[in-house]
Amino acid sequence: MQNSDEIWRLIDRHAPEFQDLSDRVWGMPELAYTEHRSCAEHTEMLRQQGFAVTEMVANIPTAVMGEAGQGGPVIAILGEYDALPGLSQVAGLPEKRELEAGGHGHGCGHNLLGSAALLAATAVKDYLAANNLPGRVRYYGCPAEEGGAAKGFMVRDGAFKDVDIAITWHPSSFSGIYEPVSLANTRIDFAFTGRSSHAATAPHLGRSALDAVELMNVGVNYMREHMPSDARIHYAYLDAGGIAPNVVQATAKVRYLIRARELPELQRLIARVRKIADGAALMTETTVKAQVISAVSNLLGNTPLEHALHANFTRLGPPPFDAADIATAQKFQATMTEEDIQSSYRRSGLPARTDEALCSAIIPIDAKGGGMNGSTDVGDVSWAVPLVQARGAVYAVGTPGHSWQLTAQGMLPAAHKGMVHVAKAMAGTAVDALADPTLVARAKEDHARRTAATPYVCPIPDDVRPPFTMSTAS
């Protein structure tokens, strides 16, 4: 198809500068809502490429949007650039070695995610101009995917309200569309307040907030048996009430992360966890305050867009990995367990293989994997506008998510090839939507059908602001 050839040539022409951008962002790993340098790099690139730039999207300092073209439709391509704590790692080394002691690292590949999305948007911009076509392409630089739910705040603020379709991707070991299975989630802090006293001379005067947290955790752990099997609940202590065992702890705080298949189920689980917190407070004669920190929706699929994206992958074929890429990937696979590799295939929906360090297949459109069982703030955008999410093979099969192995592979030639490959699939899909207005119409119909029964309600309460200090507050 000629459209494909032209847009793919445009991608190839721009590829080196965007691979460099990805490498620069890899080298400045910044946590959720602190991505000032990474966002500046993306903003600068948008300007260089001639996009009209809007900074401070939804009043978030590290969110940026660039637009090019005239008229409609409006096609959004979404990128990210936040890193993870504790995943510093020497680039390219198949052995765990921190680059910076205790440092951050791109253990989810968001350096590639943002750069490939911006590369795709740039090629679509050039395509619109070269063919004198009506239509606008936007790149949204979205911060804080890792626990910050920035896209949810951006949706709540109306940042996508005039977008017709949205396209994004995530780094993976496989190429194809992402089966739209991700969990809705919410983070809630439960802060208990009791009364301190000398734990030996006046224990009867104390009311322990730490006891309350412990009882709450016990209660929730008993609840696990009686919740949907694909729901998830995790918790972490934010305040254990101090380090003195001879003081009855007057304050204690625990953060709960609750995940469920879809929003209504999530709301039911939240109500149950809140009851357990109230029960723990009652038992210990303490008080409890619950504060929602962030929340994301489950991901909605979109059949017409999935077919269009998949067709682009099929036309492209697998990423052009060579023997050297495969040899390097084999060294990384040697650091993984057989289970890492098998479960990676299982989740993808492909039959397991033992002879393929880098996947050379495109996942069939009807493959049924185990789903992500994680959560992503892309979910909220998918409730607001028709959205499709690609996955692009950029690292060895079996590489665990959020791992040093993933950080290490973020600048390898295979990652560079993979990001260009997925940029072609995304840009090709955008061009299909520009060439065929019925694709946008069908995507919208599909979206309307999926959201008709339960219209989107942003899971983030109106009074909750983005948790800008989540990465800096201890």
Residues that bind Zn ion in the complex, under the rule CB under 5 A? 108
Report the side by side order of strands in the sheet with 287-296: 232-239, 251-260, 184-193, 287-296
Instruction: Please state the separation of Cα 247 from the chain's center in Å.
Output: 41
User: Residue 316 in 3-state DSSP?
Assistant: helix
Instruction: Please state the separation of Cα 345 from the chain's center in Å.
Output: 20
Compute the least distance from the CB of residue 35 to Zn ion, in Å. Answer: 13
For Zn ion, the closer of residues 82 and 325 by Cβ is 82
- Residue 363 · residue 342 · CB < 8 Å: no
3-state percent helix, strand, coil for the chain, nearest multiple of 5? 45, 20, 40
For Zn ion, the closer of residues 119 and 277 by Cβ is 119
Compute the least distance from the CB of residue 67 to Zn ion, in Å. Answer: 25
For Zn ion, the closer of residues 185 and 284 by Cβ is 185
Compute the least distance from the CB of residue 247 to Zn ion, in Å. Answer: 41
Find tokens 């969990």 and name the residue: 183
Beta-carbon contacts of 267 under 8 Å, excluding residues fewer than 6 positions away, are none
Compute the least distance from the CB of residue 80 to Zn ion, in Å. Answer: 7
Cα three-residue angle 346-351-353, rounded to 5 degrees: 100
- Residue 311 · residue 303 · CB < 8 Å: no
Compute the least distance from the CB of residue 170 to Zn ion, in Å. Answer: 6
Pull the structure tokens for residue 109. 């590949």
E strand residue ranges, 286-441: 287-296, 387-393
For Zn ion, the closer of residues 67 and 145 by Cβ is 145
Q: How far apart are CA 255 and CA 275, in angstroms?
A: 15
For Zn ion, the closer of residues 110 and 416 by Cβ is 110
Please give the C-alpha separations between residue 437 and each of 1, 13, 164, 383, 388, in angstroms, as whole numbers.
Answer: 17, 27, 11, 21, 17
Compute the least distance from the CB of residue 295 to Zn ion, in Å. Answer: 17
For Zn ion, the closer of residues 46 and 108 by Cβ is 108
Looking at the DSSP bridge assignments, the partners of residue 286 are: none
Beta-carbon contacts of 311 under 8 Å, excluding residues fewer than 6 positions away, are 432
One-letter identity of residue 330: Q
For Zn ion, the closer of residues 84 and 397 by Cβ is 84
Compute the least distance from the CB of residue 377 to Zn ion, in Å. Answer: 10
DSSP 8-state class, residue 227: S
For Zn ion, the closer of residues 42 and 207 by Cβ is 42
For Zn ion, the closer of residues 171 and 206 by Cβ is 171
Compute the least distance from the CB of residue 366 to Zn ion, in Å. Answer: 25
For Zn ion, the closer of residues 210 and 415 by Cβ is 415
User: Residue 168 in 3-state DSSP?
Assistant: strand
Compute the least distance from the CB of residue 166 to Zn ion, in Å. Answer: 17
For Zn ion, the closer of residues 7 and 108 by Cβ is 108
User: Residue 303 in 3-state DSSP?
Assistant: helix
E strand residue ranges, 126-263: 135-142, 165-172, 176-177, 184-193, 232-239, 251-260
- Prior bond of 180 cis (ω within 30°): no
Compute the least distance from the CB of residue 15 to Zn ion, in Å. Answer: 22
The phi and psi torsions of 18 (rounded to 5 degrees) equal: -85, -30
Compute the least distance from the CB of residue 420 to Zn ion, in Å. Answer: 19
For Zn ion, the closer of residues 108 and 149 by Cβ is 108
What is the bridge-based pairing of β-strands 74-80 and 165-172? parallel
Compute the least distance from the CB of residue 253 to Zn ion, in Å. Answer: 27
User: Residue 35 in 3-state DSSP?
Assistant: coil
* Beta-carbon count within 10 A of 223 CB: 16
Instruction: Give residue number: closest CB to Zn ion.
Output: 108
